């Protein structure tokens, strides 16, 4: 059987320990032979790592190898997952990146791998991930639109409200709550042979990896497999606003779209919002600094190499001038599978 490494990332999960333990138990109970679990702790200070380690030592089945990796500092999603990547079995063919608030379906890993086996260019996938209520969709893949924002396809919709949810479709990126990748593709395409750039920390990791893979000639898909239930933002709930703003600012500096020359207008609008919303801190300034650094590291990534969401000129002007603003705090920009455009000839 194909070997796989599952990297499960923890940080201060004591406040939702019941979910975290269900999550790790589901990881240890998969219907799959020949896999290992790498548990990475991001310097938790609440005793959660000790609870998890004891639980694993008591529950671990004999056919699953478990490794523990503990960071000396909190490295965020990007740095924590990179630690797990370095600790994995170097011969493993597939690697899954997992959040500690996601409960996996037992057959999900096997079915995802089966879908990846026949397509050499397919570098990453994710399946159907539900929100914690078990009825609403969390993700059927990720999107980025021409004004650089990113999100989850069909997020918060019911399954009946998400057309084509039972069909495979290409996506801009696979969601990092439960993303399966081919290790060889990451070794060839990833920065320094790793999946993530550690300076991104949070909320500029799975989408950035997706664009890197598409720009290197790989593909990413959603496959209609029930993968699990995600109790979203349990770890990051206090930092979502800042890191979302930081990441969306940074994207303008290394992603090419037909609206790239309107960056100044977008930044002016975001600086105004930052002045009003004190929760954002220095998110825009930090995002500019990060974006310039990523451009120096990666060059410019072409959004049109990947599936993307079109924005028409009139809509772009309305949105950038605040006449129409889809992405106000607390609102959701709803994207469905049919909203994505994929034209390989545009990748130049």
What is the CATH class of 4-230?
Answer: alpha beta
Residue 329 has pLDDT above 90, yes or no: no
pLDDT band at residue 327 under the 50/70/90 scheme: very low
Contact 172, 142 (CB under 8 A): yes
Residue 112 vs residues 156, 178, 293: alpha-carbon distances, Å: 23, 11, 34
Which three-class secondary structure state does DSSP give residue 87? Answer: helix
Looking at residue 61, what is its pLDDT?
86
**Residue 281's pLDDT band (cuts 50, 70, 90):** low
Q: What percent of the chain has pLDDT over 70?
A: 92
Task: Outline which parts of the chain fall under CATH 3.90.550.60.
Answer: 4-230
Which residues are registered as beta bridge partners of 95?
A: 5, 181
Q: Which residue has the tokens 């990896």?
A: 209
Q: What is the pLDDT confidence band of residue 259, given thresholds at 50, 70 and 90?
A: very high
Q: Per-residue pLDDT for 275 more than 90?
A: no
pLDDT digits (tens, 9 = 90+) for 60-102: 888 899 999 999 999 999 999 999 999 999 999 999 999 999 9
Residue 301's Cβ-side half-sphere holds a number of Cα atoms within 13 Å equal to 32
Instruction: Dig out the tokens for 320 from the structure.
Output: 């950038």
Residue 5 pairs in a beta bridge with 36, 95
| Total Cβ atoms within 10 A of residue 196 | 27
333 against 64, higher pLDDT: 64
Tens digit of pLDDT for each residue in 16-62? 999 999 999 999 999 998 899 999 999 999 999 999 999 999 988 88
DSSP string spanning 131-166? ETTSSBEEESSEEEBTTS-EEETTTT-BGGGSTTTT
Give the bridge partners for 180, in sequence order: 96, 125
**pLDDT score recorded for residue 59:** 87
Residue 105: DSSP 8-state:
P
pLDDT at 320: 76
Residues contacting residue 226 through CB under 8 Å, at least 6 positions apart? 105, 108, 127, 128, 130
- Tell which residue, 106, 114, 49, 121, has the closest CA to residue 80: 49
| Confidence class for position 116, pLDDT limits 50, 70, 90 | very high
**125-160: string of b/e by CB count within 10 Å (b at 16+)?**
bbbbbbbbeeebbbbbbbbbbbbbbbbbbbbebeee
Is 295 buried (19+), middle (13-18) or exposed (0-12) by CB count in 10 A?
middle
DSSP 91: T
């Amino acid at each position: 059987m194909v070997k796989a490494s599952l990297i499960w990332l923890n940080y201060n999960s004591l406040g939702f320990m019941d979910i975290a333990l269900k999550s790790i138990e589901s990881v240890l109970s998969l219907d799959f032979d020949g896999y290992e679990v790498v548990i990475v702790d991001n310097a938790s200070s609440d005793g959660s790592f000790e609870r998890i380690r004891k639980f694993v030592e008591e529950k671990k089945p004999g056919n699953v190898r478990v490794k523990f990796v503990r960071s000396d500092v909190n490295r965020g999603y990007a740095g924590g997952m990179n630690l797990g990547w370095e600790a994995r079995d170097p011969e493993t063919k597939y690697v899954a990146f997992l959040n500690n608030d996601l409960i996996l379906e037992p057959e999900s890993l096997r079915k995802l791998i089966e879908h990846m086996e026949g397509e050499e260019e397919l570098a990453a996938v994710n399946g159907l991930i539900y929100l914690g209520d078990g009825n609403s969709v969390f993700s059927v893949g990720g999107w980025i639109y021409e004004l650089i924002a990113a999100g989850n396809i069909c997020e918060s919709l019911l399954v009946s409200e998400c057309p084509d949810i039972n069909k495979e479709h290409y996506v801009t990126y696979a969601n990092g709550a439960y993303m399966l990748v081919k290790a060889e593709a990451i070794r060839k395409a990833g920065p320094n042979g790793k999946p993530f750039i550690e300076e991104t920390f949070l909320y500029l990791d799975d989408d950035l990896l997706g664009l890197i893979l598409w720009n290197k000639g790989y593909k990413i898909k959603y496959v209609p497999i029930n993968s699990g239930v995600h109790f979203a933002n349990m770890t990051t709930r206090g930092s979502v606003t800042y890191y979302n703003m930081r990441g969306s600012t940074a994207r303008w500096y290394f992603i090419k779209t037909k609206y790239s020359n309107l960056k100044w207008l977008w930044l002016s609008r975001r600086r105004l919002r930052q002045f009003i919303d004190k929760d954002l801190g220095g998110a825009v300034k930090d995002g500019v600094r990060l974006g310039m650094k990523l451009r120096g590291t990666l060059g410019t990534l072409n959004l049109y190499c990947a599936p993307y969401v079109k924005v028409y000129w009139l809509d772009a002007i309305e949105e950038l001038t605040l006449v129409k603003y889809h992405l106000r705090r607390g609102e959701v920009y709803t994207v469905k599978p049919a909203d994505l455009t994929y034209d390989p000839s545009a990748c130049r």
